[in-house]
Amino acid sequence: MLYSNLFTRTRKQAPKDEVTVNAKLLVQAGFVSKLMAGVYSFLPLGLRVLRKIENIIREEMDVIGGQEVYLPALHPAENWKTTSGWDKIDVLFKIKSRTGKDYALGQSHEEVITPLVKEYVRSYKDLPIYVYQIQSKYRDELRAKSGILRGKEFGMKDMYSFDLNQADFLKFYKQAKKAYLKVFQRCGLTAKVTEASGGDFSQKISYEFMVLTKAGEDDILYCDKCEYCINLDIAKTKAGDKCPKCQIGRLIKARASEVGNVFDLGSKYSKDFNFYVLDEKGKKVYPIMGCYGIGVTRLLGVIVEKYHDEKGIVWPKTVSPFQIHLVSLGDDNKVKNKALRVYQELLGKGIEVIWDDREKVSAGEKLAEADLLGVPIRLVISDKTKDKIEYRERESKKIKLLSSAEILASL
């Protein structure tokens, strides 16, 4: 991509109306733009990162047998009345049509996926089924001040599993948990997993995937020796206590952001929609469902919270909008021709590169912007670099002078 073609711009200063690092940097660097509290537009650079994250998730969901769909965001009120969500869910956006009919904007999709799967499934032989989508969700959130960590409109991957019995469900549940950890790890994050039973009336287990960050909205306790972790909201223990699991470590209190969670839904939704299959003996069975969410846009924000310095963002390679940020300094024709050759060579090798080819922009400005954008490798061509290219990794201060062949070999 040519920088001169990009319609967006970076800002000299971080926006004053944002309080979190993720929002300040993402807006300043021109990755997102705020439409109103909790609602952001994704700009060309931000969208590239979002797509990378989505593709990592897609790959891992496909590995465990997920089938991707894309469900509507606009739902008939009846579906939400069927499950009592219409009256019980306070974040549900409700819309009245001029015809008098009521609609809801999807805050989750059990109300759509359950009747949809019911349409196609007849027999126990059709199960299990794992369906997922990556889509916008709408929630009337009151505290939308954490940048893209909490939106009123936000991206989510939601998967739903339909199993014949609890044993099959638990098998998949375990696989999904592993796949989740893999997703976060591929995004450069380590997630701690809290285990909680879902309320008084059930023994159902749910897991929350928590990434430690000051910008998070959850408080957790985790063991300094084993993987034990619990949300402070429901904990009977406190910071400093001996770990109830390994009995060796101590519990540490930390702020965290929930980047994903998985729930055992039991047969609540299959019963609500009267969705059953006949088992081998011809007996009615209501499928056991699970739901599996990842906050895709929140995840992007958490990555920025974790990977930045005083100059800007420092993207992990796996989600960076580009692999290389090429900068040509000065408007000398020789320099520009050389940069053009390098740019084309990199593109020819399938390397994603943004070339700051702008004229009459100072070296200081170009280099500061490269730091702000946070692409892992910066290449500089100027009349000082002669037949070499200046190579620097975003996270290090070391500068090397390399030939283009040496650079290509190192990639």
Smaller CB distance to ligand ATP: residue 86 or 276? 86
**Smallest distance from the beta carbon of 108 to ligand ATP, in angstroms?**
6
For residue 105, give the nearest of 78, 70, 138 by alpha carbon. Answer: 138
Q: Would you give the distance in Å from CA 249 to the centre of its chain?
A: 31
Smaller CB distance to ligand ATP: residue 89 or 408? 89
**Smallest distance from the beta carbon of 259 to ligand ATP, in angstroms?**
5
Smaller CB distance to ligand ATP: residue 139 or 192? 139
| CB of 276 closer than 8 Å to CB of 284 | yes
Q: List contacts with ligand ATP (CB under 6 A).
A: 108, 139, 141, 150-151, 154, 156, 258-261, 293, 295, 297-298
| CB of 304 closer than 8 Å to CB of 313 | yes
At 158, list the tokens: 């939601």
Smaller CB distance to ligand ATP: residue 131 or 354? 131
**Smallest distance from the beta carbon of 373 to ligand ATP, in angstroms?**
23
- DSSP letter string, 252-271: EEEEEEEEEEEEEEETHHHH
**Smallest distance from the beta carbon of 298 to ligand ATP, in angstroms?**
4
At 154, list the tokens: 């936000």
DSSP 312: E
**Smallest distance from the beta carbon of 150 to ligand ATP, in angstroms?**
4
Smaller CB distance to ligand ATP: residue 154 or 355? 154
**Smallest distance from the beta carbon of 411 to ligand ATP, in angstroms?**
33
C-alpha triplet 298, 303, 135: angle, nearest 5°: 30
**Smallest distance from the beta carbon of 178 to ligand ATP, in angstroms?**
17
| CB of 355 closer than 8 Å to CB of 308 | no
**Smallest distance from the beta carbon of 100 to ligand ATP, in angstroms?**
30
**Smallest distance from the beta carbon of 246 to ligand ATP, in angstroms?**
26
DSSP 242: B
DSSP collapsed to 3 states, 62-109: HHCCCEECCCCCEEEHHHHHHCCHHHHCCCCEEEECCCCCEEEECCCC
Smaller CB distance to ligand ATP: residue 260 or 374? 260
| CB of 349 closer than 8 Å to CB of 323 | no
- Alpha-carbon distance of 229 to 235, in angstroms, equals 10
Which long-range contacts (C-beta less than 8 Å, at least 24 apart) are formed by 270-278?
270/114, 270/162, 272/82, 272/83, 272/114, 273/82, 273/114, 273/115, 273/118, 275/114, 275/115, 275/117, 275/118, 275/121, 277/121, 277/122, 277/123, 277/124, 277/126, 277/127, 277/164, 278/122, 278/123, 278/124
Smaller CB distance to ligand ATP: residue 164 or 212? 212
Smaller CB distance to ligand ATP: residue 3 or 184? 184
At 73, list the tokens: 């965001």
Smaller CB distance to ligand ATP: residue 298 or 378? 298
Give the nearest residue (CB) to ligand ATP.
295
